[in-house]
Structure 1
Amino acid sequence: MLVKNTTSITEFQLLGFSLVTEVGLSVFIMVSIIYIVTISANIFIIFVIASDRRLHKPMYFFIGGLSFIEIWYPTVTFPTLLWALLPRKKHISLGGCMSQFYFHFSLGTTESFLLTIMSYDRYVAICNPLHYFIIMNPRTCKKLLLSCWAGGFTVIFVLCLQVSNLSYCDGNELDHYYCDFAALIKLSCSNTSSIEMLFFISACFVILGCFVLIVMSYIQIIRTTMSFPTSTGRRRTFSTCASHLIVVCLFYVTNIFMFVRPAAADTLHLNKSVSIIPSVITPLLNPIIYTLRNQEVKEAVKKAVQKLNFYN
């Protein structure tokens, strides 16, 4: 029989990406620039929405909430991603790893809930416009946003607690640039069947459940839009919803691929590469998509830029 090393693990070594030193440094610089632009763009969107009274509407309130999440969601994994691109050993303590796991998946779950709320907001605005501001009043919007955060951090808490109670004695080399679930499970010498099932059920509930609700909202939106008497009205409505659909597709397609399937050791490296999209690309694209595809936001951005230039 093979005897596993039963020494308790107190830290993990992140394997990151196997890149040539020159390539790694080039990617390090590029990723650093992306991170700075991402944080700056999302902060700017929040500033624009807060400072322009024309954008004090439910849709923009949720866009601001999404931008706030997109400041913290990449921040949880960007330090270890940058670290993983440098030609040196990368270690993270067990406590640091569990903290990163909790905040990464909690913020991802919160974003999933918020995207669902945003689709409901568009459904009410298009399918029930006369009662839109009654249904989506400021108090309700605040409650919905707080519910997203409370739900996101509650759903992951039990899962994180179980992951932290696992025994890690099968080596300490984590085949990822952050503390991902599948990579941690691979190193555990405990019986992980129950926690893998819990993770799979949670992923189905959060990712597939939210995705189905979003699809249902847009089916009703399309039905209502097709009944509009003029093509101009239909085109304007589809244009308003297109930005949200782009974000939804980017976010859910990658997360469904990574998490809504049984864990497989031979796909860990592929998961590591695909995870760059929701962790790096989507937070960068969100403010760009909403700015470029929304006339009101573009006008507010121009006004904000003019204000900044005036003060300078």
Structure 2
Amino acid sequence: MGNWTTVQEFTLEGFPAVQHLGRLLFSVHLLAYLASITGNVVIVSIVCTNAHLKTPMYFFLSIFSLAECSFTSTVIPKLLAIFLLGKQTISFVACFIQAFVFVFIGSFGFLLIAVMSVDRCVAICKPLHYPTIMNLRTCTLLIIICLAVSFILITWVVVTVSQLSFCGPHVIPHFFCDLGPLIHLSCSDPSYAETVTYVFALFVLLSSLIITIIAYSSIVVTVVHLPSAKERQKAFSTCSSHLMVLSLMYGSCVFIYLKPKQSGILDTNKEAALVNTVVTPLLNPVIYTLRNKQVHQALRKTVCRIQISR
């Protein structure tokens, strides 16, 4: 840590304008959190127990659902404590741990989205070679690569930010410890840390987006040349849920991390971050369940088996 670090804890500002509605907001966010966790756990359970879903596509989906559970659990419990108990303080170490875990899982999620796009590309463009290319070893290796890249990059970023001097103020204008607000609280020159953080966000978002665009461009070219309209519809339907999740994730994160600097940016980021940490993890299992016929059918069979067993 920096030699001039005197701040032992930070205060999370939260949402002071609506803090008087703390109990109501606690109830709403608790329900959203429980629904998000339940939905993602259901997806993981269905994939693990249904033999028809033992494919790379659903293997990646189950990993993505686990990542979403971890992602939202990094932020929401503290937000619930702020709404219900007014506990806005967080220790210096806990703040940086929260920032590390949040950005690590978030960047892993974007890299995983890119891998899922490549998986769909291979499945549609090279169907005969798909089982050979996307075998269990390849899938596991891709997951490990995503984890390793995310861990190495975020470690570099967080170590850089932690070496700044924090001698006051100690109020973070956010509802969790994100890197941007932390850097703005430094009483030393934050230019290098800002550059490192921006380059990190740019690399993760743009690299995953470019891979996804290339993958789906290949998919579109292949699907357009399919002779049957039914085959074209089936190919696009398997990608529709993926594209909807992509729109939600990229929309909120580009607004938060790649928006040009201007006054009031930290205040406007809170609403976008709320979408990213509460709304998106809640909608993802709904989108994948309702838009994906195989998951939908597996869910219905599971419900039927439970009812019969009773």
TM-score if structure 1 supplies the norm length?
0.94
2:122 to 105, 110, 124: 124
CA-to-aligned-CA distance 1:34-63 (integer Å, 9 cap, x gap): 111111111111111000110000100010
The residue aligned with 2:111 is 113
The residue aligned with 2:16 is 18
* Contact persistence 1:110–1:149 (CA under 8 A): yes
* Contact persistence 2:5–2:165 (CA under 8 A): no
* Contact persistence 1:167–1:188 (CA under 8 A): yes
Answering whether residue 189 of structure 2 is matched by residue 191 of structure 1, we say: yes
Moved more, 204-213 or 20-29: 20-29
The residue aligned with 1:221 is 219
Aligned-pair identity (%): 36
The residue aligned with 2:71 is 73
* Contact persistence 2:71–2:277 (CA under 8 A): yes
- 1:96 maps to amino acid: A
Moved more, 156-165 or 100-109: 156-165
* Contact persistence 1:200–1:261 (CA under 8 A): no
C-alpha displacement of 1:19: 3.7
Q: CA RMSD in A?
A: 1.5
* Contact persistence 1:185–1:192 (CA under 8 A): yes
Answering whether residue 217 of structure 2 is matched by residue 210 of structure 1, we say: no
Distance in 1 between residues matched to 2:253 and 2:307, nearest whole Å = 40
Distance in 2 between residues matched to 1:27 and 1:236, nearest whole Å = 41
1:275 aligns to what SS in structure 2? helix
1:76-115 equivalence runs, <5 A: 76-86=74-84, 88-115=86-113
1:82 aligns to what SS in structure 2? helix
Distance in 2 between residues matched to 1:202 and 1:109, nearest whole Å = 9
Distance in 1 between residues matched to 2:46 and 2:55, nearest whole Å = 13
Distance in 1 between residues matched to 2:309 and 2:156, nearest whole Å = 49
The residue aligned with 2:247 is 249
CA-to-aligned-CA distance 1:46-98 (integer Å, 9 cap, x gap): 11100011000010001001011011000000112212324635100000000
- 1:271 maps to amino acid: N
Distance in 1 between residues matched to 2:259 and 2:211, nearest whole Å = 20
Assess, with a 3 A threshold, how the Cα gap between structure 1 residues 263 and 125 changes in structure 2: closer, same or farther. Answer: same
The residue aligned with 1:169 is 167
Aligned residues: 307
Assess, with a 3 A threshold, how the Cα gap between structure 1 residues 308 and 263 changes in structure 2: closer, same or farther. Answer: farther
Distance in 2 between residues matched to 1:20 and 1:252, nearest whole Å = 27
